[in-house]
Amino acid sequence: MSNVTVIGTQWGDEGKGKIVDWLASRADIVVRFQGGHNAGHTLVVNDQVYKLSLLPSGLVRGKIGVIGNGVVVDPKALMSEIDRVVEQGLKVTPETLWIAETAPIILPLHGAIDRAREAVRGKHKIGTTGRGIGPAYEDKVARRAIRICDLSEPETLDWKIDELLLHHNTLLAGLGAPTFTKEEILAFLGEITPRLLPFACPVWDRLDEADRAGKRILFEGAQAVMLDVDHGTYPFVTSSNTVASVAASGSGMGPKAIGFVLGIAKAYTTRVGEGPFPSELFDDTGRGIAERGREFGTVTGRPRRCGWFDATMMRRAIRVGGVNGIALTKLDVLDGMDEVSICVGYELDGKTIQSFPSAPGAQARVKPVLETMKGWNETTAGARSWADLPAQAIKYVRRIEELIGAPVTLLSTSPQRDDTILVTDPFEG
């Protein structure tokens, strides 16, 4: 028996919510280890729809949810999310939700800076969610973040706020945006402290204890490998590492705790925000995929860009992400297409290459090399065994496995939890 770590392998929105929910029902504890409320999961449980951004999905299944030290926490977003799910009937208490006392806090000034910087970037804008994620991570590594444990020490807050304002007000003034006062920050912190602090605890200690006691831990990644700050399409990335190795450092556990790494991949590719996307489709085929796949962002409602499955990009994501097997989602969106294509390489300045380049100029110039195969007319939606799938769809899945060098561990065939074909149980490693 092993723990399981789930990560996205493309540019996010691969349908992690359903898979994590399915796995959460078999886990004891579910841990978020990076990102913040830039993530978005939609969980459909019976007739209830849960929209989660920061809360670990396991809470919906009555499991312990953990927000690790690698997450940046917007306290107001967290509280309104808690209020929302409590209204829907969930129980969220310090017994069921543990938040790392060392997690950095996202302040209103972080969102203001995020948005002000995007506004002046013009055509080089990143297309961030505008939620202050980047500036909060910058403060963490710059050693000036206010962390949850600081909330119980007014004297620490006092000098930390001075340092923060010195830095951020200079920047905001330079960007022509309104600045913040110490009183405003203190009022914000004063308001959130009584609700946030009861959830704070030494998560690393509790997780270690649970692991030793043989509890099953599920680590729930946000965003995806191609948005990783080191391995993604930099600078069009998020500000955290999204690869599986971060599940350990972002929750305070050793690397062995990560267990089986399940990478989630859509049967095609989507992206929100700016940045390179070699297999992107700009025609009716792309629009058809977007429509059938209902490709609109959970967090910002932005339409997602759609394209063919990029096996070349994925091969890299599998390797740097440490992926042992993939969960392939939304195969049914390709039902009824005459032909389907897979990106099997790139052309760059007249040469064929097998690996995605690192420099942004080259990343923007690459053209996809496509392999096209016959599609299928039959529906794959709701299939629960390989026997339910048309032969051509199976061929497509097998070709993907071959090209990316990783097996399909799980195939999801509709948003419903039970419409899943299980090949290997990730918890059995």
Residues that bind ligand IMP (CB under 6 A): 11-13, 38-40, 126-129, 131, 133-134, 222-223, 227, 236, 238-239, 272-273
Q: With respect to ligand IMP, which residue has the nearer C-beta, 53 or 69?
A: 53
Q: Considering the complex, what minimum distance in angstroms separates the CB of residue 323 from ligand IMP?
A: 18
Burial of residue 312, with CB atoms counted within 10 A of its CB: 0-12 exposed, 13-18 middle, 19 or more buried: buried
**Rounded to the nearest whole angstrom, what is the least distance from the CB of residue 107 to ligand IMP in the complex?**
15
The dihedral region occupied by 89, where left means phi > 0, alpha psi between -120 and 50, and beta the remainder, is left
- Separation CA 271–CA 8 (nearest Å): 12
**Residue 139 vs 150, nearer CB to ligand IMP:** 139
13 in active site: yes
CB of 33 to ligand IMP, least distance (A): 14
> Given the structure tokens 């280890």, which residue do they identify?
33
Q: Residue 126 Cβ, how far from ligand IMP at the closest point, in Å? A: 5
HEC-encoded secondary structure of the chain: CCCEEEEECCCCCCCHHHHHHHHHCCCCEEEECCECCCCCEEEEECCEEEEECCCCHHHHHCCEEEECCCECECHHHHHHHHHHHHHCCCCCCCCCEEEECCCEECCHHHHHHHHHHHHHHHHHCCCCCCCCHHHHHHHHHCCCCCEHHHHHCHHHHHHHHHHHHHHHHHHHHHCCCCCCCHHHHHHHHHHHHHHHHHHEECHHHHHHHHHHCCCCEEEECCCCHHHCCCCCCCCCCCCCCCCCCHHHHCCCCCHHHHCEEEEEEECCEEECCCCCCCCECCCHHHHHHHHHCCCECCCCCCECEEECEEHHHHHHHHHHHCCCEEEEECHHHHCCCCEEEEEEEEEECCEEECCCCCCHHHHHHCEEEEEEEECCCCCCCCCCCHHHCCHHHHHHHHHHHHHHCCCEEEEECCCCCCCEEECCCHHHC
- Which residue lies nearer to ligand IMP by CB, 227 or 248? 227
Pick 216 or 304: Cβ nearer ligand IMP:
304
| Residue 366 CB-density burial (10 A; 0-12 exposed, 13-18 middle, 19+ buried) | buried
Smallest gap from Cβ 192 to ligand IMP, in A, equals 21
> Least distance to ligand IMP from the beta carbon of 299, Å?
6
Q: Which of 37, 41, 110, 168 is catalytic?
A: 41
Cβ closest to ligand IMP, residue 38 vs residue 341? 38
Q: Which CB sits closer to ligand IMP, 241 or 380?
A: 241
Instruction: For ligand IMP, give the closer residue by CB, 10 or 412.
Output: 10
Minimal CB distance to ligand IMP: which residue?
273
Cβ 39 to ligand IMP, closest distance in Å?
4
- Catalytic status, residue 41: yes
Q: Which is nearer to ligand IMP, 240 or 341 (CB)?
A: 240
Provide the Cα torsion 212, 65, 302, 335; round to 10°: 70
> 13, 114, 211, 332: which is the annotated catalytic residue?
13
CB-based burial label for 91 (10 Å; 0-12, 13-18, 19+): exposed
CB of 75 to ligand IMP, least distance (A): 17
The catalytic residues are 13, 41
